[in-house]
Each structure stands twice: as C-alpha cells, then as structure tokens.
Amino acid sequence: MQKFLHDVSSLRILQQQPPNHMGSRRSQIATGQHSSPTVYPIKRGKIKSSRQKETNAVTDDPEKAKASEHRIDVGDENSNLLGYNVYSGKLSLVKKSKSSNADEKTGFAAANLDSTDAKLSSKALVWGSQMLCFEDVISVSYSSGVRHFTVHSYIHRKSRLPCIFKPQRSQKDFCFLASSLEEAIQWVSGFADQQCFVKCLPHPMASSKKSSDLLASIPFFDQQPIKCKSPPRVLVILNPRSGHGRSTKVFHGKVEPIFELAGFIMEVVKTTSAGHARKLASTLDFSTCPDGIICVGGDGIVNEVLNGLLSRENQREAISIPIGIIPAGSDNSLVWTILGVRDPISAAMTIVKGGLTATDVFAAEWIQSGIIHYGTTVSYFGFLSDVQVTRLDPKKLNCTVQRLVKSVKLKASGNNQKGCGIDGELLKMNGQVMCSLLPQQCRLMGRPVKDPI
Ligand SMILES: Nc1ncnc2c1ncn2[C@@H]1O[C@H](COP(=O)(O)OP(=O)(O)OP(=O)(O)O)[C@@H](O)[C@H]1O
C-alpha cells in the first residue's frame, strides 16, 4: 500500500505510446451474475501533442528508431508501473520561504534551488528518486503568469506499528518550480490532461495597481491557457446522528477539505429526522446536483436516498443519478463491499478520482400491503432485524428469539456478492414478501480500489 516516495532510481522511464491513444476507453463490463461490478470509466482528455512530437522525433532518426525498438521491450515493464509519458523536463521542489521580495512576491526562494530531471506519466510524477502516484493526487493549484505550481496530495503515512495501526492518509502539498513560464504551463496542462482538477488563480500581484506594467510584460499573465475538467456539482446529504454523532466532524474535518481541493461545488443539507433524506431524494431538482448525491452517514442514509429516488415517477432517470458514499456511520457495508473502502478519506478520494460503479438493486414487496422497499446488498426481516434493534435493548431479546422460527432473511445483490444472488426474477418468501431484482442498476460514485483498505 505504500505507494509514495518509492525509490525509483532503479527504474528507467522510457517513452511509451499510451496503450489506447486519444480517447479510447476501456471498460470492465459485468459479464455474469458473479463477475465484478460494472465500472464506468472516466472521460479521458486529449493527450498532449508534445508527447506525439517526442515520439515522432524518435522514429524520424533511423539510429534512434533502432534503439527505441530495443528499448520498447524493457519499457513495457516500466509502463505497467508508470504508464505512458506525458511530459518531461526539469523541476525544483521548493519550500515556502519567509523572504518577502523573492521571485515575484510568490513567497519562494528560488535562487539556490537545484533542479532535477522530472517526468509526468499517466500514473505518476517522478522527480529525482522520488515519485508521487496519481492516485494520491487531488488537484493542482496554479497562478497565472508564474513558474511554480502546487500539487495537492493525500499520501499514506507510514505506521510505526503497521500490524496494529493501518496506514493513514494525510494531506501533503508539493510546490515545484519549472524552468520557464512556458514549461510551468506544460506541466500543469499535463496534469489537466490526466483528468486532474486544476485550480487556476490570478497572478499573485494581480490585485496590486502599481504592478500593472510589470504584469503586462509577463506572457500569459492575463489569460489562462490551461483547460481542465469543470468542477462537479453535488448535493451532500449528511446525517448528523450517524456514527454516534461523529459524522458532522468527520465531514467538515476530513472530507470537505478534499472536496474543496478538488473544486467540488457542494450544497450540504443536514437531515433533521428519519425520512428527511428520502423526502429530499424524492423531490429534488436534479439540475441542482447533476453530478450526484453524496451521502454522509451509515447504510441507513444511503438506503433512504435510494428509496427516495426510486419512489419518483421518473424512476429510470432517478436511478441513473450517481450516489456517493462517505462512511461516517456505525455500519457501512455497502461502500466496503462494492468499492473496498471504509474510511472517510479514502472514500472521498475514490469519489474525487471519478468513475462510476454499477450495483444491483432489489425490490422487496410486502404482499399484503403492497409496500415496496428497495435495497442493495442485504435486507433483513424478522430475527436479524430484531437483533439489530435489540442490540441496544436486551429486554426485547426474549421476544425476538421466540420469533426466530418465523424469521426470514433476504439476501440479494446479484453480481456483487458471490453465491448469494436472488437468482431469478422473483422470489416469494414465507408468503409475506416478494423479492425481485430491478432491471436497472444504481451507480455508485468511484471505482473499486485495487487494494482494499
Ligand atoms: N437527523 C436525524 N435524526 C434521527 N434519525 C435520523 C436523522 N437523519 C437520518 N436518520 C435515520 O437514522 C438512520 C440511521 O442512519 P445511518 O445509517 O446514516 O447511521 P448509523 O450511525 O449507521 O446508524 P445505525 O447505527 O442506527 O445504523 C437512518 O436510517 C435514518 O432514517
């Protein structure tokens, strides 16, 4: 899991063509009941033309072409680790300085900085012997007309006792100085090409009237040549009672800063009672949150949102709205089962990274009343649900045990939990409940992590 700052001195990074160049998309399609969940890929931007130029430059020269032919074999191994090359040049890692007049009032002492060879690939930024993986990067900040840019990341901190404490992610910002203004723009554009959000800021001296002449002499200072993806607009539904009242602190302390770095435009609604989230989801104008609804809490709040969406007349459109989950409740089996994350920071990063994962939805209908309840992974009726209630009230346990004989447990989720699919169109349980899988799946924001944490 420790992906940051690997020693890559032994790696030679070779120029690679992207495996699927220019907008080709790979998607995992669920092929059967027990395969992996369907994953919708995020959109790929245009690949930098500089990369194409570099490739041509190699092939134009027959000598070099020969050499590269030989090198490609070795490069294939490296491409698995670092992907294809996006941009390369010199970079200096700079630290904030207190000196006031240094480098165009940017706050960086650039004079004594050693620049080092650096490469941006489709998977990582490598400088010297250090590497920052893209999966740890949230965004890049860049002020128009300056040579430096900041990469915001959340990296795993080493745990002194890794057997006992799992590694935690924490924020780390890296500020780099490029060799020239033009190169700085190339570096930042490279990040944008890799679907990384770029926060474009005005020049640090833009507000000062005295400096207008100076600024006018800086190329590009008044225009922003970096094109990056537009920030997502989402609705956040937070259950302040979740996780024994800790969810608000978790959201504002750990998750909101990540979403802000990633440029998310958020409306945050705190539920005031049970049923509030369901009502919101059933009446919501989707144009106010076209990129999804993010639930902060436990499985209960997600289930309310799902049921609210499916109770709408436009059920088909409603089920297609992405649902994000920040685990901040006492039970978060859905996000753990489907995406493999169970801590709020990793879940937020999974959402920020983009992509959607489809998961099955079942409907359980009470035969006598006709009431339909929707669920995703598992639904309990009778004994198990009573145990959930009575875990706080032991007096009720006796009554629960007596009802054991009548109890029934519904387990669904088709392609997500091996061996426990409903396996058929319709299932009648105990003469009381009728259960079926919906033809459409709901979409969770994010893609499953490779190494569940
Ligand atoms: N403001 C609120 N006050 C009381 N209950 C609420 C509120 N908002 C939502 N709820 C209800 O709380 C239930 C449990 O919420 P959730 O699953 O998010 O948290 P949790 O900590 O995992 O809870 P639990 O331990 O009870 O499963 C939801 O089903 C929802 O109906």
pLDDT tens per residue, range 236-291: 999 999 999 999 999 999 999 999 999 999 999 999 999 999 999 999 999 999 99
3-class DSSP assignment, residue 383: helix
DSSP for 395-449 reads GGHHHHHHTGGG-EEEE--TTTSTT----SS-EEETTTEEEEE-SS-EEEES---
Q: Angle 276-283/299-310 helices, nearest 10 degrees?
A: 30
Distance 221 CA to ligand 1 centre (A): 50
CA distances from 87 to 117, 191, 260 (A): 11, 9, 27
Other CB atoms within 10 Å distance of the CB of residue 354: 20
Q: Which of 65-69, 358-362, 387-391 has the highest mean pLDDT?
A: 358-362
As its CATH architecture, domain 48-216 has: Roll (2.30)
Per-residue pLDDT of 107-154, as tens digits, reads 455 445 688 999 999 999 999 999 999 989 999 999 988 999 999 999
Pairing of strands 356-359, 39-40: antiparallel
- Our mutation pick for probing the ligand 1 site, out of 278, 295, 301, counting the most ligand atoms within 8 A of Cβ, is 301
Tokens of 431: 């003469």
Residue nearest to atom 30 of ligand 1 (CA): 274
CA distances from 310 to 142, 173, 226 (A): 42, 41, 40
The pLDDT assigned to 261 comes to 96
* Fold equal for 48-216 and 230-355+447-453: no
239 lines ligand 1 (CB under 6 A): yes
Can you say how many angstroms the Cα of residue 160 is from the centroid of all Cα atoms in its chain? 27
Known active-site residue 331:
no
ipTM of the complex: 0.96
Q: 230-355+447-453, superfamily in CATH? A: Probable inorganic polyphosphate/atp-NAD kinase; domain 1 (3.40.50.10330)
331 lines ligand 1 (CB under 6 A): yes
274 lines ligand 1 (CB under 6 A): yes
Q: What is the largest CA-CA distance in the chain?
A: 85
Please state the atom number of ligand 1 nearest to the C-alpha of residue 301: 18
Residue nearest to atom 14 of ligand 1 (CA): 300
Q: Could you tell me the pTM of the whole model?
A: 0.73
State how far the Cα of 432 lies from the Cα of 258, in Å rounded to an integer: 46
Spans of all domains in the chain = 48-216, 230-355+447-453, 362-437
Average pLDDT of the residues in 329-335 = 88
Per-residue pLDDT of 27-64, as tens digits, reads 332 323 333 344 444 444 444 434 444 433 334 455 54
Residue 421, pLDDT > 50, answer no
Give the closest residue to 103 by CA, choosing from 135, 143, 76.
143
